[in-house]
Amino acid sequence: MYNASDYIVDFLLHKKINQAFVVTGGACAFVVDAMGKNKDFIYKSFHHEQSAAMAADAVYRVDNSKIGITVATSGPGATNLITGIACSYFDSIPSIHITGQVNSKESSKYLKANVRQAGFQETDIVSMVKPITKAAKKVSDFQDLKNTLEEFYLEAISGRMGPVLIDIPMDIQQEEVEKFTPKNVIPKKTNFKISKEDSETLNTFFRDAKRPLVLFGAGIGLSNSQNKVINWIDSLEIPFVSSWNGLSYFDHSNNNYFGHIGVYGNRGSNNIIQNCDALLVLGSRLDNRQRGSNVDNFAPGAKKLVIDIDINELNKYDQTYKALNYDLSYIEEITSNIIFSGINKDWAKYITSQKEKYLFKDLSTYHKNKNSLSPYAITKKIVDNLPKKSILIPECGANLCWVYQTMNIKDTIVFTSGGNSPMGYTIPATIGAKLTNPNSSVYGILGDGGFQMNIQELQTIAYLNLDIKLFVYNNFGYGIIKQFQDTYMSSRYEASGLGYSQPNFEKVANLFGFEYRKIETLEDLKISDLTSSQKLIFDVILDPNTEIEPKTEMGRVINDQFPYQTDEEFEKNNNFFLKNSDYNRPKN
Amino acid sequence: MYNASDYIVDFLLHKKINQAFVVTGGACAFVVDAMGKNKDFIYKSFHHEQSAAMAADAVYRVDNSKIGITVATSGPGATNLITGIACSYFDSIPSIHITGQVNSKESSKYLKANVRQAGFQETDIVSMVKPITKAAKKVSDFQDLKNTLEEFYLEAISGRMGPVLIDIPMDIQQEEVEKFTPKNVIPKKTNFKISKEDSETLNTFFRDAKRPLVLFGAGIGLSNSQNKVINWIDSLEIPFVSSWNGLSYFDHSNNNYFGHIGVYGNRGSNNIIQNCDALLVLGSRLDNRQRGSNVDNFAPGAKKLVIDIDINELNKYDQTYKALNYDLSYIEEITSNIIFSGINKDWAKYITSQKEKYLFKDLSTYHKNKNSLSPYAITKKIVDNLPKKSILIPECGANLCWVYQTMNIKDTIVFTSGGNSPMGYTIPATIGAKLTNPNSSVYGILGDGGFQMNIQELQTIAYLNLDIKLFVYNNFGYGIIKQFQDTYMSSRYEASGLGYSQPNFEKVANLFGFEYRKIETLEDLKISDLTSSQKLIFDVILDPNTEIEPKTEMGRVINDQFPYQTDEEFEKNNNFFLKNSDYNRPKN
Q: What is the overall mean pLDDT for chain B?
A: 96
CB-CB: which of A82, A460, A494 is closest to B82? A82
Contact B386, B412 (CB under 8 A): yes
- State residue A587's pLDDT score: 82
Confidence grade of residue A110 (pLDDT, cut at 50, 70, 90) = confident
Is the Cβ pair A495, B310 closer than 8 Å?
A: no
CB pairs under 8 A between A and B: 282
Contacts of A528 (CB under 8 A, 6+ apart): none
Whether A447 and chain B come into contact, CB under 8 Å, resolves to no
The full set of domains in chain A, from first to last, is: 4-173 (3.40.50.970), 196-358 (3.40.50.1220), 366-541 (3.40.50.970)
CA distance B120 to chain A (A): 6
What CA–CA distance (Å, rounded) separates B216 from B196?
Answer: 25
Q: Do A456 and B459 touch (CB under 8 A)?
A: no
- B114/A315 Cβ within 8 A: yes
- By C-alpha distance, the chain A residue nearest B34 is A494
Grade residue B285 by pLDDT with cuts at 50, 70 and 90.
very high
CA pair distance A549, A376, nearest whole angstrom: 10
What DSSP letter does each residue of A504-537 carry, written as one string? -HHHHHHHTT-EEEEESSGGGS-HHHHT-SS-EE
Q: Which of B45, B478, B499 sits opposite A499 (nearest CB)?
A: B45
Q: Is A463 on the interface with B (CB under 8 A)?
A: yes
Q: How confident is the model at residue A184 (pLDDT cuts 50, 70, 90)?
A: confident
The band of A188, judged by pLDDT with boundaries at 50, 70 and 90, is: low
Tell me what the mean pLDDT of segment A425-429 comes to: 98
- Minimal Cβ distance to B459: which of A162, A452, A510: A452
pLDDT at A189: 65
Average pLDDT over residues A134-144: 98
In 3D space, the residue among A81, A79, A77 whose CA is nearest the CA of residue A95 turns out to be A81
Lowest mean pLDDT among A190-194, B122-126, B515-519: A190-194
Q: For residues A439 and B486, what is the distance between their CA atoms, to the nearest angstrom?
A: 37
Q: CB contact, 8 Å: B574 with chain A? A: no
Is B185 a residue whose pLDDT tops 90?
Answer: no
Distance from CA of B132 to the nearest CA of A (A): 8
Residues 6+ apart with CB under 8 A from A143: none
CA–CA separation, A9 vs A17, rounded Å? Answer: 9
Question: Which among B116, B420, B492 is the nearest to A75, CB-wise?
Answer: B420
Interface test with B, best of A19, A45, A160 (most B CBs within 10 A): A45
**What is the side-by-side order of every strand in the sheet holding A469-474?**
A413-414, A391-394, A442-447, A469-474, A536-541, A515-519
CB contact under 8 A, A492 and B312: no
Q: Within 10 A of A169 (CB to CB), how many other CB atoms are there?
A: 26
A106-165 residues touching B, CB cutoff 8 A = 106, 108, 111-121, 123-124, 127-132, 162
Q: Is B496 on the interface with A (CB under 8 A)?
A: yes
pLDDT for res B189: 65
Q: What percent of chain B has pLDDT over 90?
A: 94
Residue A553 has pLDDT above 90, yes or no: yes
Residue A429: band (very low, low, confident or very high) from pLDDT cuts 50, 70, 90: very high
CA angle B386, B388, B392 (to 5 degrees): 50
CB-nearest to B494 from A33, A79, A494 is: A33
- The SS3 call for residue A391 is strand
Task: Give how far B131 is from chain A: nearest CA, Å.
Answer: 7
Task: Tell me the CA end-to-end span of chain B in Å, nearest whole number.
Answer: 73
Q: How far apart are CA A409 and CA A392, in angstroms?
A: 10
| Nearest chain B residue (CA) to A508 | B511
Give the strand order in the sheet containing A95-101: A42-45, A19-22, A68-72, A95-101, A163-169, A135-138
From the list A340, A353, A291, the residue with the least C-alpha distance to A316 is: A291
Q: Chain A 49-88, CB below 8 Å of chain B: which residues?
A: 50, 75-76, 79-80, 82-83, 86
pLDDT tens, residue by residue, A363-389 = 999 999 999 999 999 999 999 999 999
For residue A505, the chain B residue with the least C-alpha distance is: B511
pLDDT digits (tens, 9 = 90+) for A274-312: 999 999 999 999 998 999 989 999 999 999 999 999 999
Lowest mean pLDDT across A16-30, A34-48, A107-121, A177-191:
A177-191
pLDDT of residue A249: 97
Q: Which residue of A has its CA nearest to B103?
A: A293
Chain A positions touching B420 (Cβ under 8 A) are: 75-76, 121, 123
Residue A362's pLDDT band, with cuts at 50, 70 and 90, is very high
A169's enclosing H/E stretch is: strand A163-169
Q: Which of A23, A24, A69 to mutate to test the interface with B (most CBs of B within 10 A)?
A: A24
Chain centroid to CA A506: how far? Answer: 29
Give the pLDDT confidence of B527-560 residue by residue, as tens digits.
Answer: 999 999 999 999 999 999 999 999 999 899 999 9
Do the beta carbons of residue A287 and residue A306 sit within 8 Å?
A: no
- pLDDT-derived band at A187, boundaries 50, 70, 90: low
Q: pLDDT at residue A446 above 80?
A: yes
Question: B117-140 b/e with 16+ CB inside 10 Å = b?
Answer: bbbbbbbbbbebbbbbbbbbbbbe
Chain A positions in Cβ-Cβ contact with residue B162 (cut-off 8 Å):
116
Position B328 pLDDT exceeds 80: yes
The band of B112, judged by pLDDT with boundaries at 50, 70 and 90, is confident
**Which residue(s) pair with A447 in the sheet?**
A473
Compute the distance between CA of residue A72 and CA of residue A284 in angstroms, rounded to an integer. 32
Instruction: Quickly state the pLDDT bin for B38 (edges 50, 70, 90).
Output: very high
When CB atoms are compared, the residue of B131, B422, B459 closest to A76 is: B422
Burial of A356 (0-12, 13-18, 19+ CB in 10 A): exposed
